[in-house]
């Protein structure tokens, strides 16, 4: 990263915060699981400098907490009351993850950002997203991705024949091993009747009411 360059794009942060504020205004409870790939990816260091895979995973979890703290302060600066809860205990900088407390924050109109993944190696933030959605009794899990407007049969950037998939079952994703998300996360969602919608980050707020946006993974 060159001098003066930031890992964070304020235009993107503003876009997300504006949509979160809109959803709160409509009475929705908002829980966010955030990744850390812009800072660190464990697989990039595994096998190098004698760093073990589990260590790489834990460093990646710490990166998600860093991102959560940035997002929290940005949201608070925009008038969105926000709390960070981490699966890895860090009492000096954020709350430890306690499900009942997270639900209580949401009842008070606060946005809750979950950092630290699941606090365990070998699990992705996709799995953390599904796990937290289930614990929070969420009606819908929205997977928002930059530069991706839904699910395709292949990577549209690399495969000109890749076609858009509007609706698909979790079982079909598992059978075809489509690279939509971590397959263990898809299986967990299916087994617990959790619907997932994959959308572009620019349409998060609209995706709740407009089923024409993005792709829907039905839990069957």
Label residue 3 by pLDDT band (50, 70, 90).
very low
Q: Which CATH class is domain 139-220?
A: alpha beta
CATH fold match for the domains 7-117 and 139-220: yes
Percentage above 70 pLDDT, the chain:
97
pTM score: 0.91
pLDDT at 32: 97
Query: Would you state the structure tokens that stand for residue 96, as one six-digit string?
Result: 């430890």
Q: Which of 121, 195, 141, 191 is nearest to 33 (CA)?
A: 141
21: left (phi over 0), alpha (psi -120 to 50) or beta: alpha
Neighbours of 183 (CB within 10 A): 17
Residue 59 has pLDDT above 70, yes or no: yes
pLDDT at 4: 43
pLDDT at 6: 64
Winning range, highest mean pLDDT, from 28-42, 83-97, 137-151: 83-97
pLDDT digits (tens, 9 = 90+) for 144-199: 987 788 998 887 778 888 899 999 999 999 999 988 889 999 999 999 999 999 99
Q: Rounded to 5 degrees, what angle do the CA atoms 25, 27, 33 make?
A: 90
SS3 category, 102:
helix
Provide the residue ranges of all domains of the chain, joining segments of one domain with +: 7-117, 139-220
Strand-pairing partners, residue 85, are 95, 114
Query: Would you state the structure tokens that stand for residue 142, as one six-digit string?
Result: 């929205």
pLDDT at 157: 77
- Specify whether the CB–CB gap between 83 and 107 falls below 8 A: no
Label residue 2 by pLDDT band (50, 70, 90).
very low
Query: What's the CATH architecture for 7-117?
Result: 3-Layer(aba) Sandwich (3.40)
Label residue 208 by pLDDT band (50, 70, 90).
confident
Residue 44 has pLDDT above 80, yes or no: no
* Average pLDDT value for the chain: 90
Please report where in the chains the tokens 């959790």 appear, as a residue. 194
**Higher per-residue confidence, 39 vs 168:** 168
DSSP alpha helix (H) spans, the chain:
10-25, 53-77, 99-107, 125-135, 170-176, 183-191, 204-207
Question: What is the mean predicted confidence (pLDDT) over 114-125?
Answer: 94
- Please spell the DSSP secondary structure of 128-190, one letter per residue: HHHHHHHHTT-S-EEEEETT--SEESS-TTT-TT--EESEEEHHHHHHHT-TTS-HHHHHHHH
Alpha carbons 36 and 43: distance in angstroms, whole number = 12
Residue 137: Cβ-neighbour burial (10 angstroms; 0-12, 13-18, 19+) = exposed
The Cβ-side half-sphere exposure at 30, using a 13 Å CA radius, reads 27
Percentage above 90 pLDDT, the chain:
68
Worst-scoring range by mean pLDDT, 46-55, 74-83, 136-145? 46-55
Residue 74 has pLDDT above 90, yes or no: yes
């Amino acid at each position: 990263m060159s001098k003066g360059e930031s890992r964070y794009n304020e235009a993107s942060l503003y876009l997300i915060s504006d949509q979160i504020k809109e959803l709160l205004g409509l009475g929705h409870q908002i829980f966010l699981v955030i990744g850390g790939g812009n800072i660190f990816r464990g697989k990039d260091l595994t096998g190098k400098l004698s760093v073990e895979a589990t260590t790489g995973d834990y460093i990646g979890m710490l990166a998600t907490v860093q991102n959560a703290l940035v997002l929290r302060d940005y949201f608070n600066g925009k008038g969105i009351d926000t709390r960070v809860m981490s699966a890895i205990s860090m009492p000096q900088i954020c709350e430890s993850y306690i499900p009942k407390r997270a639900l209580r924050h949401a009842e008070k109109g606060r946005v809750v950002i979950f950092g630290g993944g699941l606090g365990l190696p070998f699990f992705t933030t996709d799995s953390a997203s599904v796990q937290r959605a289930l614990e929070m009794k969420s009606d819908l899990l929205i997977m928002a991705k930059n530069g991706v407007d839904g699910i395709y049969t292949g990577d549209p950037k690399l495969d000109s024949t890749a076609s858009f998939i509007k609706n698909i079952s979790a079982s079909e994703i598992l059978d075809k091993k489509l690279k939509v998300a971590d397959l263990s996360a898809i299986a967990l969602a299916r087994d617990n009747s959790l619907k997932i919608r994959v959308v572009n980050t620019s349409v998060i707020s609209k995706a709740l009411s407009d089923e024409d946006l993005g792709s829907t993974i039905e839990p069957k």
